[in-house]
Structure 1
């Protein structure tokens, strides 16, 4: 987004250097953490999550905007949580809410008796202070609160938002970033520094036990005894995050019973996991798609005909087939399951059409050779398949594609370079929404931006900007109008402007221990496991 993201699956926030510290979220060895498969009572059970990238880049719940969501959603809570089955927000720290017919005032009733990990009560005044601090910090996904004019704590459990323009605030309040409610009085000094020393001030079921940046077992959470949901019945008492970059290693650890959950396997390993006795699998469509952003501002792709030619050269069907279930064909920018999804827009490869467009611009077979540059995520096998297929297709059209795999921060810095000659012609990255609303793609990736953040097609179109700015209000008070606006914007951005191609939407392919009971994937919170909702089995 915008001011935005992500390392998760290779797109991200700039990496910040953090220091470790002791006390309230102490840093220590993890040798005493029990592993699944060892003899331990259900009360001592540890859920071991295996991410492929470092977990924490930013501990501050106001600015956090990257991989740490997988831990933060177990430590912090928001007013609401999105339910992908009902496609609506459901209660979390708020038990109910109402809005005025014009969508400009929202009243949330808070859950009574909630305590922060600091021991202080979570009341309306604390929630107000939390959101106001996030807005003031203005980093990460803080833009989600952009409609808020003022917040009032009417009493201990009543929180009233007055908005500058209508917005679906129940969805905003369910965001995976910037919606966390936290104790702003947790530190006497610099609160951001205190957070990034490894402390937390959430209200969730787990609190930080140990954090060792750069270690294999980077982070361990332990249950918060005072959690409002209680601990009756079977629950995991600890969560351990064990960083394992190689998928094959993660798979071996799962087979041996040393870990509980692998967030993503390749198609070959996923098929193997499906037939393994002590393992269960889950495949769920995500809200995360792959974007091929074309440089509309400089270089050869400044010519819209050449951008359209590259769009047509992509072997969409071949790519999805090669992914073997790890991706499904996209239909426009908005994934299925979100308002704004427009069926019937799936693109098809059209090499004769691409050749004709190239010839119109003086290139193609028999014309001038065309050289293009592309950057993509180092180590991402799915993106490598796209690059291989596209390189082959363009080669037949007398177009040479030079593709560079890069670490995200390197790729992002190149894309944002003030020297336009250093920018790539095609920028490959994943995108997913900060909350369950398609607005994220449009305001962050395609609205004019200066300085450049995630608008890496560099598109500048005043008319499109104005349409994007109307989306929150339409979503709040005119769903049919919002659907029409999303369809029109996708037609303009993909068709007329040819600023992007959308090769596929990712499927989440998970593998986890047979003993894990109750796991349900929620695409609104990418790669998050809500561990409190699970039951450890035998």
Structure 2
């Protein structure tokens, strides 16, 4: 439960490809030099958001991507995944110590003292119980993480005992997840309850213990956070975090190049990453994450109705070529069914091979009208659009009539699951992620019928049963068996492990230390610093 030593952290960080190199961004068809900016003297950090966060920054509601830049900096849980390391390591947050019963049903936490919420309310055991109750009452996507809680005991102000109705070996990962239960001021919840459990209030205010509190929330325009004066972790270098919303990647990159933004986290299209990597006017980092590239295949459409057809489709795509052509600077071919590092080495592995012959045989037996396949991708991802075109060209070479359609996020998360027969045959994602590194949380969201990321409703009863069994025992071999069952069903296979790509001004220090493997699109802004020019130059020379 200790934090890593500086030496171990430095060794881990060296393995994560911290690239401080230099280049020219090609924008609007021409070469445009990156001028960068001088270090700010006003304590303001400016972080670009590509598109609005899509949901209120309420930790019991928010269940998407770029809004983690807000929720993870305003709210804290009992534990967290340690930042600055390339493996999933659970460490202390608002709890300083914990014990777990042998049967994984009782979790006892010692709470951090002298912590206050944004409204000045002291953090005590009462707040843990109130926060768990509120998440259950709101009942949004992340509510499953407390669904198994039977009771919460508070023997004193600094001790909490959580009793589960059934054994759950993943419960600590639930708590550490960026979407896990976060502590909210019981005073704010009571005074602003309204008829929606304070959801209206928390869409424009914050009530956490984190280093920053919400000061501006203008949907589609900008968000702003200011430093929480009573933060237990001390004063930050940056007292204000401005997060302007951009609807166009070129405009956001131009703002960075001109020095109007301090950093872009996770939203730089792959076509621009090589330029930033070669540009010594900025810092570029490819940092490890739980993100994966997956191929959704729709069993509710005739073309992909059978496991044999889905397996043939996946092997027909030359995934190595896809990575080389589009996402080479942030991705590598997946070697397992779960996210990187979810299981101990040697427990489960999967070799992705390119073999178009089974799909060619399958296509040969189809009539003309049956040879049409619709490929979908996110309308907001330039990478996904490029990959979809590459896949379409490969499939057309096998005699298929492959067409491409882009979809809005609301369609993917809403219409697909409710009416999958009207969704595309294939849906491509080059950067999605589970709720945490725990193999259950991966398998549940992607493979279970009720999983939050099972957009096309592809599942097998055997996989679901094995995941439920593994959740109780925590047995890696059972998780391996679940992966084998899912591989046989060919439901949402992963084709890549994907890093978080961050580009920042040369004066921004502590980027690697502030990045968590579990939290894409965000950094721990409290941990960031301003480096001198000499320090930046030295970092780039290493």
* TM bin (shorter chain): 0.7 to 0.9
Instruction: From 49, 55, 79, give the equivalent of 2:47.
Output: 49
SS in 1 for 2:225: strand
d(CA) in 2 for partners of 1:512 and 1:461?
43
Q: Which residue of 2 aligns with 1:485?
A: 478
d(CA) in 1 for partners of 2:417 and 2:87?
39
Shift of 1:193: 3.8
d(CA) in 2 for partners of 1:238 and 1:532?
10
Shift of 1:39: 8.1
For 1:285-300, list aligned pairs within 5 A.
285-300=288-303
SS in 2 for 1:51: strand
For 1:523-538, list aligned pairs within 5 A.
523-538=517-532
Shift of 1:197: 4.4
Shift of 1:188: 3.9
Change (3 A) 1:513 1:403: same
| 2:108–2:160 CA contact under 8 A, matched in 1 | yes
Shift of 1:363: 2.9
d(CA) in 2 for partners of 1:155 and 1:142?
26
Change (3 A) 1:351 1:204: same
d(CA) in 2 for partners of 1:317 and 1:197?
43
Q: Which residue of 2 aligns with 1:273?
A: 276
| 1:376–1:411 CA contact under 8 A, matched in 2 | no
| 2:388–2:428 CA contact under 8 A, matched in 1 | no
| 1:415–1:427 CA contact under 8 A, matched in 2 | no
Shift of 1:91: 0.8
Equivalences, count = 483
Q: 1:507 and 2:494 equivalent?
A: no
Q: 1:353 and 2:358 equivalent?
A: yes
SS in 2 for 1:283: strand
SS in 2 for 1:181: coil
Shift of 1:340: 6.5
Q: Which residue of 2 aligns with 1:206?
A: 212
Q: 1:473 and 2:487 equivalent?
A: no
d(CA) in 2 for partners of 1:237 and 1:269?
30
Change (3 A) 1:273 1:463: closer
Shift of 1:438: 2.4
Shift of 1:213: 1.7
TM-score when normalising by structure 1: 0.84
| 1:147–1:167 CA contact under 8 A, matched in 2 | no
Give the stretch that moved more between structures: 311-320 or 189-198.
189-198
Q: Which residue of 1 aligns with 2:29?
A: none
Coordinate RMSD, CA, aligned = 2.4
Shift of 1:65: 1.2
d(CA) in 2 for partners of 1:209 and 1:176?
21
d(CA) in 1 for partners of 2:79 and 2:193?
30
Q: 1:464 and 2:468 equivalent?
A: no
d(CA) in 2 for partners of 1:198 and 1:258?
25
Instruction: Indicate the structure with greater helix content.
Output: 2
SS in 2 for 1:173: helix
Q: Which residue of 2 aligns with 1:138?
A: 139
Q: Which residue of 2 aligns with 1:402?
A: 403
Q: Which residue of 1 aligns with 2:178?
A: 176
Q: Which residue of 1 aligns with 2:256?
A: 254
SS in 1 for 2:291: strand
Query: Can you give the 5+ residue segments of structure 2 that lack an aligned partner in the other structure?
Result: 1-35, 533-542
| 1:363–1:369 CA contact under 8 A, matched in 2 | yes
Q: Which residue of 2 aligns with 1:381?
A: 382
Query: Can you give the 5+ residue segments of structure 1 that lack an aligned partner in the other structure?
Result: 1-35, 476-480
Instruction: From 52, 59, 62, give the equivalent of 2:60.
Output: 62
SS in 1 for 2:274: helix
d(CA) in 1 for partners of 2:237 and 2:268?
26
Give the stretch that moved more between structures: 345-354 or 148-157.
345-354
d(CA) in 2 for partners of 1:94 and 1:533?
19
Change (3 A) 1:463 1:337: closer
Shift of 1:142: 1.4
